Amino acid sequence: MDLREALSRGEFSLHYQPLISLDNGEISGFEALLRWTHPDRGDIPPGDFIGIAEETGLIGPIGRFVLERACRDAAGWPGDLKIAVNLSPAQFRSYDILASVVHALDVSGLSPSRLDLEITESLLMDKSEAALSTLRALRHLGVGISMDDFGTGYSSLSYLRAFPFTKIKIDKSFIKDLHSSPDSQAIVRAIVSLGNNLGMRVIAEGIENPDDLAFLMEAGCGEGQGYLFSVPKPLKDIAGLIAGAPAT
């Protein structure tokens, strides 16, 4: 895979998927999702190349591109709309992620309170002091930290206490099974009340139908994301969605 060439040729872009506040149905922000448009092979999904980018070290420059592009785009949006950016654990291990975030905020002029960084449990599993102090420094800047794919790893509960999370994202595997699995329903209810009681925002990803949305609202989940609301779209195609968002 020509990942290095892809970056210099400008073949990477970001798509944005709205995050919906379930209290009022309004858009609270967008998640940035990386896309690679290969000249011969067409669109390649991130699952097919993020792992290779991590192994080859290219996640450093690619991650910096994502942070800067997302912050610059979000700086042009009205009101308090937030931008959520995915970070790979490898970006914490070998790169100065703090400097990259500071740089992206600096060049974009985006307020730190409008940036949410999404990380997965795998970052925390080695219980690294370095990762913890980096997360604390990021929180100190004023950016939010979300635990992505919550419920899919190990010992999630102890991580919630040890790390400075502001938001929990319930993994879409639980949402997918909601209609058929009483166990998934119980787990989702438990995660929502846990997050609410810990003072964190809780968002469910992968909402595809109105029944699942109704269940989540009834359970007290604060935010949602999924094809029911919108698929991820290029910047130019979300202008209509943003125009309908509340401006402050």
**List of residues contacting Ca ion (CB under 5 A):** 86, 118, 148-149
Shortest distance in whole angstroms from residue 66 CB to ligand C2E: 4
- Closest to 117 measured CA to CA, from 94, 93, 98: 98
User: CA–CA separation, 196 vs 199, rounded Å?
Assistant: 5
**Smaller CB separation from ligand C2E, 184 or 197:** 184
103 close to 69: Cβ distance less than 8 angstroms: no
- Count the site residues for ligand C2E by CB under 6 A: 23
User: CA–CA separation, 101 vs 115, rounded Å?
Assistant: 9
Binding of residue 232 to ligand C2E (CB under 6 A)? yes
SS3 at position 46: helix
- 4, interface contact from ligand C2E, Ca ion, none, CB < 5-8 Å by kind: none
- For strands 223-224 and 82-86, give the pairing: unpaired
Binding of residue 212 to ligand C2E (CB under 6 A)? no
Applying the rule CB under 6 A, the residues between 149 and 188 that interact with ligand C2E are: 149, 172
Which among 80-88, 129-137, 179-187, 216-224 is the span making contact with ligand C2E, rule CB under 6 A? 80-88
36 close to 44: Cβ distance less than 8 angstroms: yes
**Smaller CB separation from ligand C2E, 78 or 209:** 209
Shortest distance in whole angstroms from residue 171 CB to ligand C2E: 7
Cβ partners under 8 Å of residue 95, min gap 6: 59, 60, 63
User: CA–CA separation, 119 vs 40, rounded Å?
Assistant: 32
Binding of residue 226 to ligand C2E (CB under 6 A)? yes
**Smaller CB separation from ligand C2E, 47 or 244:** 47
- 66, interface contact from Ca ion, ligand C2E, none, CB < 5-8 Å by kind: ligand C2E
